[in-house]
Amino acid sequence: MNEYAAPGVPEAEAEAEALPTEASGPKPFAHVNAVNAGQYRRIMSAFVVAKRRFTVHLRPEDVRDYLVDSGATAPDLETVVDALGRLQAWGNLRSDPDTSRVSTIEEFHRARYLFQLTREGEAAEDALAAYEEALGRRGALQAAALGDIVVQLRALVELAAVPDPDAARVHLSLDQLTSRFTDLADNAQAFMSSLQRTIDLRDAEVDAFLAYKDRLIEYLERFIKDLVATGAEIAGLVIALQELGVERLLDIAASRVSADAAPGEDADGPNREFVRQRLLWADRWVGFRGWFLSEPGRASQASLLRTQARAAVPRLLAVVSTLNDRRAGRSDRSADFRTLALWFAQAPDDASLHRLWRSAFGLHSSRHLTIDAETLDARQTSPVRPTTSWTAAPPITISPRLRETGHYERRGKPNNVIDRSERKRFLAERAAVEAAQTAAARETLAAKVGASCRLSDLGALEPQEFGLFLRLLGDALSAKTPGKGTVETTTSDGSLAVSLHQLDGDQIAEIYTDAGVFRGPDQLLRITDLSVSRSEAV
């Protein structure tokens, strides 16, 4: 029998499975689908743990001790040796002669080996670990990662402001920023996917789901609050870093990484490695910037994540409502139809079936016809089959009014038409007065502002003027983006152009109105009446 054949496996099958040809090369994933896959996976985990503890080689006795310590069924040493040989044939392990414990010639001639992971075996274990981790990952909304990203961005802004920044600090900050951001994005995606699966779950324990619901909603609300507050700061730091020249920092990081590239036969290798690293860092920065900054026609990923998190709360509450309805005993339509089908199956005769059909679905005969007792007696004596054509069936006497008007009851005279011309005229006059007041307020406010005016210099405003001022201020502030001190916009009707410039300092502007005092940061305001400009141009 082949020395690598596993117990219970035919020798020919084991030999074909254990010894790949040179043309096929290593098969490091073959043990996953082998007969004793569980045993092979446990043995490979022993080598992974040993490598993590900086142990290079393992003897068969060490592997068996690990299996015993891990709680698995203790195999005999011969079985472990056979499994190690099979893994070596697949390319997962490499064996070296073990001569450290040889004290006699007989022991020297006896086969003793030390086993260690090959590159293929280590790569296969890393891939399997990543696969299992991805399947079991629930993800998380890492609010702490947002704070770490802010710290790294502040460090990069300080480095970008220096003419000759330290290359090691630049590379370290960019590397930590990339690592933290990757964790944030991956975990957020995994969490939203698991959250959707949780929301779609219908067979969960009601009490457990309700308790989980309270914690989940609190968790979502806390993350949304942190994302709104910290996301705006991150966006401002990204804009500042763009203005200071982030490309210079990316060049420094790419140069530092490419300098450690191993020499090769290609003389242009270092330059090619620099170009590759530079493109890699540029792609990372574009992805990071697009995650926190919106562009025209494309919302940022942070905004989409915030929208999904907010939308998950009402969907979660809808699931709770469904569970409460189910617990309260309400039945759904499918349960009603199953009960109705049971009633149909238990009906004693056809007459009961028809009566149940009419009661359940309301598909009665025509209700707009009325017959008298004489006609009913005639039908009782001489019934007419339902399949009889209306041309061959005896006639039915109906009311003449039904034939003439289509109704039994006599209709009264129609309601008088209400004359609403007076109300329409009143509304038109009121609209004209309001339009005139708005035009006067627009002219007065534009005259007060002039070419430009500080908000603190506006003084007192009439109600119409103050209402127009609030609308203009709201349009300007809604169009303002982070990092910009000046914003220019127009009203929805295109009649006014508004420019708002943020002033330095902490001065507070006060505007007095009949309703009270309006206070806010002092800014420079300019209002242009576009309707007047167009009329002068004509």
Mean pLDDT across the stretch 155-159? 88
Residue 288 exposed, middle or buried by CB count within 10 Å (0-12, 13-18, 19+): buried
d(CA 50, CA 97): 19
Q: Quick one: pLDDT band at residue 412, thresholds 50, 70, 90?
A: low
What's the gap between Cα 520 and its chain centre? Answer: 37
Write the CA distances from 407 to 126, 371, 384, integer angstroms: 82, 15, 26
Q: Quick one: pLDDT band at residue 1, thresholds 50, 70, 90?
A: very low
d(CA 207, CA 537): 72
Nearest CA to 307 among 234, 198, 227? 227
Residue 237 exposed, middle or buried by CB count within 10 Å (0-12, 13-18, 19+): buried
Asked whether residue 381 carries a pLDDT value surpassing 80, the answer given is yes
Q: Which tokens sit at 414? A: 């129609």
43-68 core/surface letters (b: 16 or more CB in 10 A; e: else): bbbbbbebeeeeeebbbbebbbebbe
d(CA 30, CA 124): 10
Give the residue carrying structure tokens 């060490």. Answer: 62
Mean pLDDT across the stretch 468-490? 75
Helices vs strands, H then E, count in the chain:
19, 8
d(CA 489, CA 480): 9
Question: What is the secondary structure of 265-311 as a DSSP string?
Answer: S-TTHHHHHHHHHHHHHHHHHHHHHHHH--BTTB--HHHHHHHHHHH
Mean pLDDT across the stretch 176-204? 70
CB of 507 closer than 8 Å to CB of 522: yes
Write the CA distances from 123 to 29, 36, 328, 391, 463, integer angstroms: 10, 21, 54, 86, 74
Q: pLDDT digit string (tens) for 7-50?
A: 334 443 444 444 455 446 788 888 888 888 888 888 888 888 88
What pLDDT is recorded for position 5? Answer: 38
| Backbone angles phi and psi of 139, in degrees to 5 | 80, 170
Asked whether residue 290 carries a pLDDT value surpassing 70, the answer given is yes
**Which of 141-155, 300-314, 316-330 is modeled with the greatest confidence?**
141-155
Residue 27 one-letter amino acid: K
**Segment among 79-88, 411-420, 432-441, 456-465 with least mean pLDDT:** 411-420
What pLDDT is recorded for position 6? Answer: 38
What pLDDT is recorded for position 531? Answer: 64
What pLDDT is recorded for position 16? Answer: 43
| Angle between the N-to-C axes of helices 269-292 and 301-327, in degrees from 0 to 180, rounded to the nearest 10 | 50
Report the share of the chain in percent with pLDDT over 90: 1
For the four alpha carbons of 482, 483, 485 and 491, in that order, the dihedral sign comes to negative
Q: pLDDT digit string (tens) for 252-285?
A: 888 888 876 666 555 555 677 888 888 888 888 8
What pLDDT is recorded for position 345? Answer: 92
Cα dihedral 208, 211, 214, 217 in deg (nearest 10):
-20
What pLDDT is recorded for position 264? Answer: 56
Mean pLDDT across the stretch 102-114? 64
Three-state DSSP at 115 gives strand
Which residues share a beta bridge with 96?
Answer: 114
Asked whether residue 136 carries a pLDDT value surpassing 70, the answer given is no
Structural Rg of the chain based on CA atoms: 41
Mean pLDDT across the stretch 443-460? 72
Q: Quick one: pLDDT band at residue 325, thresholds 50, 70, 90?
A: low
Give the residue carrying structure tokens 């290079």. Answer: 56
